[in-house]
Amino acid sequence: MIKLTKLKSQEHEFVLNAELIETIEETPDTVITLINSKKFIVEESMNEVVRRVMEYRRGLNRNFR
């Protein structure tokens, strides 16, 4: 799970299951599309979302060793 910030929303922070991400685009806003086609527009850059996903997955791998 990764913590992100919705763009221009009353409910700013939310937690997203990183395993459900299908694509991440910058258009120029960062748009995350999930495998069920649901979309989120977030304040973080595409590179920051990717960094958080990688950090999350590294944490999972540490628990299996």
Report residue 65's pLDDT band, with 50, 70 and 90 as the boundaries. Answer: low
pLDDT digits (tens, 9 = 90+) for 26-55: 999 999 999 999 999 999 999 999 999 999
Mean pLDDT of the residues in the chain: 92
- Token pair 């409910």 in the structure block, residue: 11
Alpha helices, DSSP H, located in 1-65: 46-64
- What is d(CA 26, CA 18) in angstroms, rounded to the nearest whole number? 17
Which range (1-5, 9-13, 18-22, 35-39) has the least confidence?
A: 9-13
CB of 30 within 8 A of CB of 43? yes
The pTM for the full model equals 0.87
What letter would DSSP give residue 6? B
CA dihedral 25, 31, 21, 17 (to 10 degrees): 140
Amino acid at 16: L
The domain segmentation of the chain, as residue ranges, is 2-64
What is the assigned CATH class of domain 2-64? mainly beta
